[in-house]
A and B are shown apart, each in its own frame.
Chain A
Amino acid sequence: MNIFLRELKANRKALIIWSVCMFLLVLSGMSKYTAYSSSGQNNALFNSMPHSLKALLGFGSFDVTTMSGYFAMLFLYIELTVAIHAVLLGAGIVAKEERDKTTEFLIVKPLSRTAVITAKLFAALVEVFVLNIVTLVSSIFMVDAYNKGADISGEIVRFMVSMFIVQLIFLSLGAALAAFIKNPKASGSLSAGVLLASFVVSKITDLTDRLNMLNLLSPFKYFSYKDLVEGGGLSAGIIIPAILLVAVLSALTYFFYRKRDLNV
């Protein structure tokens, strides 16, 4: 319990900054909605764009002149941002004791490495959840402020549920990488590199249908946001494997951390 509280306290300032940034991202994103939706001309403009350009801009399959389509486009950037937070948090929370040379302090306390990781992962889980809720509340308010059509709050909630699972995947990925690689200072940059690679993969598979197998490598593509926009629900066939992936990555974190020779 003490490690859990200590981690929450240590990351409090960072979490506040991330929360403010998420709010500002949603705010600035939504404030541009009027430009997209204001006139029917835009629709014609977007339709005349080649698919690859639309895909690179993030709205290959959405109608961005409607609120739900526009939010789906904005959501990709929101999701990327919180994924960066999650992967850095996961890597940092495992690696920080070694990076800051506090391992000797912690490991000579009468508790197992398993207990250390459990406390840290729970603290990270709480932080990821808080950021998700902040994003959810900001999105609902800001969308409501600009929306002239049908209410899409239910859709936003489903988006955020899918985002939470993506956050968990990146959190556990960062933790597992930090527990695995020897140099604690490299874990953050390596995790961020893996995340960017998976984002690039998601952009490549946007451009063409032939590489859809690659989507397995990119948690950004696990959920079909096109279906969500069209009013579909979240599919259990995706949620369950995604949760299993989180479980496997967490188990690997424990496994690697237990076997690890800790740097001091």
Chain B
Amino acid sequence: MSAIEFKKLTKSYGKSRGIIDVNFKVEEGDIFGFIGPNGAGKSTAIRTLLGLIHPTSGSATIFGKSCIEHPQVKKDVGYLPSEVFYYDHMRVIDLLNYSASFYKKDCKKRIRELAEIMDLDLKKKIDDLSFGNRKKVGIVQGLLHDPKLIILDEPTSGLDPLMQQKFFELIRDENKKGATIFFSSHILGEVQRMCNRVALIKEGRIIKLEKMSDLRENNYKRIRIETPAAIDRSFFEMPGVSKLELKDHMVNFLFRGDINTVIRKISQTNIANLLIEEPDLEEIFLHYYEKEGETV
């Protein structure tokens, strides 16, 4: 059974676009990235999944069940919203105990452990906390009941790099213990570091669904060449080359296709230095976006 399944999910808000025909699965034990720019529909998809809003058509299920019809399925779900708001006039520990009271298990020990890892002062009033510290409360609150599915909506905003590091370690540990992670972000680096599989969403539609490794290895190479003398742009204009940039004696492009053809091409000229590397996700992603843009 899949941990999460979106089946032809569409949600429209009156005239404005929500999400359209979203179709994909997240298998148990996976770390799944859900990437797209702000406003692409990531949060809409997650909120439909959690039963905060109703689908216009299609369905979104957790462990095969809809959250609206089977609210009990939510006992295995931990959720960290993108913006964390809590009841005012409560201390951190009161809020966490209130949260724990909804689950039929003793979470006291886990609360202490998590608070220690995240370096969170349980005695403070929530009103007095900074944005980053509220986010920490959100993290502890989302994990305190040892959920089997952890849904994170833009989890790292507001956390300093050191805390992000700790947070990712924590999430990896949860994954090793068997939890499925569903992770939405517009920061590609963090998805790249964490996820096995990704779905790319743009303007409400899923445009790509791939294994992280496939996405990166999809024959794309970032090639940088330094030449002793200036070289004509047309020399590198060949099938498979994109984003060609020439600056002083530097040539920079993305290549997709048979690597031998580009190596032969390079060997026809005199070069000072050559660097062939994996493109980062951001580049591939932008590339997808541009391609989409051309077809529209």
Q: Contact residues of A with B, CB < 8 Å?
A: 2, 6, 10, 100-105, 107-113, 115, 259, 261-262, 264
Instruction: Check if B51 is an interface residue, CB within 8 A of chain A.
Output: yes
User: In the complex, what's the smallest C-beta–C-beta distance from B273 to chain A, in angstroms?
Assistant: 52
Check A102 against B86 for contact (C-beta < 8 Å). yes
Given contacts A101-B83, A102-B87, A105-B141, A261 and B102 within 8 Å (CB-CB): no
Residues of chain A with a CB closer than 8 A to B81's CB: 104-105, 264
Q: What residue of chain B has the Cβ atom nearest to residue A110's Cβ?
A: B75
Check A261 against B52 for contact (C-beta < 8 Å). yes
User: In the complex, what's the smallest C-beta–C-beta distance from B19 to chain A, in angstroms?
Assistant: 13
Per-residue A-contact encoding for B49-71, CB less than 8 Å = 1, 0 else: 01111100000000000001001
Check B79 against A110 for contact (C-beta < 8 Å). no
Given contacts A259-B54, A261-B53, A2 and B101 within 8 Å (CB-CB): yes
Check A262 against B53 for contact (C-beta < 8 Å). yes
Please indicate which of the listed interface residues A101, A108, A111, A264 has the most CB atoms of chain B within 10 Å of its own CB. A108
Check B87 against A10 for contact (C-beta < 8 Å). yes
User: In the complex, what's the smallest C-beta–C-beta distance from B112 to chain A, in angstroms?
Assistant: 21
How many Å lie between the Cα of A109 and that of B51 in the bound state?
Answer: 11
Check A112 against B71 for contact (C-beta < 8 Å). yes
User: In the complex, what's the smallest C-beta–C-beta distance from B79 to chain A, in angstroms?
Assistant: 4
Q: What residue of chain A has the Cβ atom nearest to residue B138's Cβ?
A: A105
Question: Which single member of B47, B68, B88, B102 contacts A2 (CB below 8 Å)?
Answer: B102
Check B86 against A264 for contact (C-beta < 8 Å). no
Question: Which single member of B50, B54, B85 contacts A100 (CB below 8 Å)?
Answer: B85
Check A108 against B74 for contact (C-beta < 8 Å). yes
Question: Which single member of B51, B54, B88, B103 contacts A107 (CB below 8 Å)?
Answer: B51
User: In the complex, what's the smallest C-beta–C-beta distance from A219 to chain B, in angstroms?
Assistant: 32
- Chain B contact residues: helix, strand, loop or mixed: loop
Instruction: Check if B9 is an interface residue, CB within 8 A of chain A.
Output: no
Q: What residue of chain B has the Cβ atom nearest to residue A112's Cβ?
A: B71
Residues of chain B with a CB closer than 8 A to A2's CB: 98, 101-102
Question: Which single member of B52, B72, B87, B141 contacts A110 (CB below 8 Å)?
Answer: B72
Check B74 against A110 for contact (C-beta < 8 Å). yes
How many Å lie between the Cα of A259 and that of B53 in the bound state?
Answer: 9
Please indicate which of the listed interface residues B52, B54, B73, B88 has the most CB atoms of chain A within 10 Å of its own CB. B52
How many Å lie between the Cα of A107 and that of B99 in the bound state?
Answer: 11
Instruction: Check if B35 is an interface residue, CB within 8 A of chain A.
Output: no
Could you give 13 example pairs across A and B, Cβ below 8 Å?
Answer: A2-B102, A6-B87, A6-B98, A100-B87, A102-B86, A107-B50, A107-B51, A107-B52, A108-B50, A108-B79, A110-B103, A111-B102, A261-B52
Check B85 against A102 for contact (C-beta < 8 Å). yes
Q: What residue of chain B has the Cβ atom nearest to residue A97's Cβ?
A: B87
Given contacts A10-B87, A100-B88, A111-B71, A105 and B99 within 8 Å (CB-CB): yes
Check B74 against A105 for contact (C-beta < 8 Å). no
User: In the complex, what's the smallest C-beta–C-beta distance from A193 to chain B, in angstroms?
Assistant: 25
Check A264 against B54 for contact (C-beta < 8 Å). no
User: In the complex, what's the smallest C-beta–C-beta distance from A87 to chain B, in angstroms?
Assistant: 23
Residues of chain A with a CB closer than 8 A to B72's CB: 110
Check A110 against B83 for contact (C-beta < 8 Å). no
Given contacts A2-B98, A2-B102, A103 and B52 within 8 Å (CB-CB): yes
Residues of chain B with a CB closer than 8 A to A259's CB: 54
Please indicate which of the listed interface residues A103, A262, A264 has the most CB atoms of chain B within 10 Å of its own CB. A264
User: In the complex, what's the smallest C-beta–C-beta distance from A7 to chain B, in angstroms?
Assistant: 11
Check A261 against B54 for contact (C-beta < 8 Å). yes
Given contacts A109-B102, A110-B75, A111-B71, A101 and B85 within 8 Å (CB-CB): yes
Residues of chain B with a CB closer than 8 A to A104's CB: 47, 50, 52, 79, 81, 85
User: In the complex, what's the smallest C-beta–C-beta distance from B193 to chain A, in angstroms?
Assistant: 26
How many Å lie between the Cα of A113 and that of B51 in the bound state?
Answer: 10
User: In the complex, what's the smallest C-beta–C-beta distance from A255 to chain B, in angstroms?
Assistant: 14
How many Å lie between the Cα of A103 and that of B53 in the bound state?
Answer: 11
How many Å lie between the Cα of A105 and that of B51 in the bound state?
Answer: 12
Instruction: Check if B77 is an interface residue, CB within 8 A of chain A.
Output: yes
Additional pairs, 9, CB under 8 Å, beyond known A108-B77, A113-B71: A2-B102, A6-B98, A102-B86, A103-B52, A104-B50, A108-B74, A108-B79, A110-B102, A111-B71
How many Å lie between the Cα of A104 and that of B86 in the bound state?
Answer: 10
How many Å lie between the Cα of A103 and that of B75 in the bound state?
Answer: 16
User: In the complex, what's the smallest C-beta–C-beta distance from B179 to chain A, in angstroms?
Assistant: 15
